[in-house]
């Protein structure tokens, strides 16, 4: 019903040459994958990656998009610029953007609305910090982030976007949420969307990924959970062998 989607988030990694090397190895390794496969790459690698994956089963993603059509926003990239490069998916509201670059629930919402209006598919990141988790605020944080990100987003868009639950304390730390914990927390997000829209849309249309130290060793267990529809993979997406094993989590 909800097709699994495994996306690599390269973050600020891979020059053009490294992109070429990684994709040369990756393309044949994932050619027979059952899951939808996406790579979200730095702007400077979009052309190279797009050119290499054309005609394959790998889809192209970017790591951010501005909400304005164009204008005086030095250093930013517009949806039209991404579309011109063949981009289909775009990561929005990653915790690193929230932590280091002043991203707020409001700017996330603005980016999401523009991306959807332009025909890009947002991968919207939500997740609590360790402090919030220890303070018993997981539900409060996720309900707020999800609700704000989807403000004024139409029900019809729910199958054109993906939510990624990424507990901040599990990103790049080697600590993974247990599969059960990730599943239960994702259920909170799905329940929030059900309340905002309808139960059926949240169950049938919305795909929710887990992200945070997901790797070849834990992918199968995480993907076996009923609420988890995919993964957003950081470190393990930088090695073709590792990423392909996550993509083909069933062995
Ligand atoms: P890691 O897989 O390196 O923990 O990163 C997860 C992430 O932030 C993906 O967006």
- Which pLDDT value is given to residue 176? 81
Full 3-state SS string of 69-120: CCCCCCCCCCHHHHHHCCCCEEEECCHHHHHHCCCCHHHHHHHHHHHHHHCC
Q: Which of 140, 111, 109 is nearest to 127 (CA)?
A: 140
CB of 234 within 6 A of ligand 1: the answer is yes
pLDDT band with cut points at 50, 70 and 90 for residue 172: confident
pTM of the model: 0.98
- Which pLDDT value is given to residue 42? 98
How far, in Å, is the centroid of ligand 1 from the Cα of 118? 26
CB of 126 within 6 A of ligand 1: the answer is no
- Which pLDDT value is given to residue 200? 96
Contact call for residues 115 and 122 (beta carbons, < 8 A): yes
Contact call for residues 120 and 143 (beta carbons, < 8 A): no
How far, in Å, is the centroid of ligand 1 from the Cα of 81? 25
- Which pLDDT value is given to residue 199? 97
Q: Which of 36, 94, 103, 128 is catalytic?
A: 94
E-strand spans in 87-239?
89-92, 121-126, 162-165, 207-211, 230-233
pLDDT band with cut points at 50, 70 and 90 for residue 30: very high
CA dist 202 and 219 (Å) reads: 23
- Which pLDDT value is given to residue 207? 98
pLDDT band with cut points at 50, 70 and 90 for residue 251: confident
Give mean pLDDT, residues 31-45: 98
pLDDT digit string (tens) for 79-124? 999 999 999 999 999 999 999 999 999 999 999 999 999 999 999 9
Task: State the average pLDDT for the chain.
Answer: 97
Q: Which positions ≥6 away from 29 have C-beta within 8 Å?
A: 240, 241, 244
CB of 212 within 6 A of ligand 1: the answer is yes
157: Cα within 13 Å, side-chain hemisphere? 24
Catalytic: 166? yes
% residues pLDDT > 70 (the chain): 100
The answer to whether residue 61 scores a pLDDT higher than 80 is yes
- Ligand 1 mutation pick, 40, 172, 245, max ligand atoms within 8 A of CB: 172
The answer to whether residue 243 scores a pLDDT higher than 90 is yes
Q: Ligand 1: which atom is nearest the Cα of residue 94?
A: 10
Name which residue sits closest to atom 9 of ligand 1, judged by CA.
234
- Which pLDDT value is given to residue 219? 97
Q: Is the dihedral of CA 235, 178, 128, 62 positive or negative?
A: positive
pLDDT digit string (tens) for 206-242? 999 999 999 999 999 999 999 999 999 999 999 999 9
pLDDT band with cut points at 50, 70 and 90 for residue 168: very high
Contact call for residues 186 and 228 (beta carbons, < 8 A): yes
């Amino acid at each position: 019903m909800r097709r699994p989607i495994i996306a690599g988030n390269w973050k600020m990694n891979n020059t053009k040459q490294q992109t070429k090397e990684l994709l040369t190895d990756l393309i044949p390794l994932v050619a027979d994958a059952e899951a939808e496969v996406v790579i979200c790459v730095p702007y400077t690698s979009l052309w190279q990656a797009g050119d290499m994956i054309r005609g394959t089963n790998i889809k192209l993603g970017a790591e951010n998009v501005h909400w304005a059509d164009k204008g005086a926003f030095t250093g930013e990239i517009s949806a039209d610029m991404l579309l011109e490069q063949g981009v289909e998916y775009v990561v929005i509201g990653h915790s690193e953007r929230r932590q280091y670059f002043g991203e707020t629930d409001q700017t996330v919402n603005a980016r999401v609305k523009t991306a959807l209006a332009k025909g890009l598919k947002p991968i919207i990141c939500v997740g609590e910090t360790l402090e919030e988790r220890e303070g018993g605020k997981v539900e409060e944080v996720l309900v707020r982030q999800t609700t704000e990100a989807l403000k004024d987003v139409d029900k019809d868009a729910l199958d054109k976007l993906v939510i990624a639950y990424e507990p901040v304390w599990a990103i790049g730390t080697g600590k993974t949420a247990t599969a059960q914990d990730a599943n239960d927390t994702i259920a909170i997000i799905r329940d929030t969307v059900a309340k905002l829209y309808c139960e059926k849309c949240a169950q049938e249309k919305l795909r929710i990924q887990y992200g945070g130290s997901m790797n070849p060793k834990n992918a199968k267990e995480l993907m076996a959970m009923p609420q988890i529809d995919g993964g957003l993979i950081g470190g393990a997406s930088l090695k073709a062998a590792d990423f392909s094993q996550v993509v083909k989590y069933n062995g």
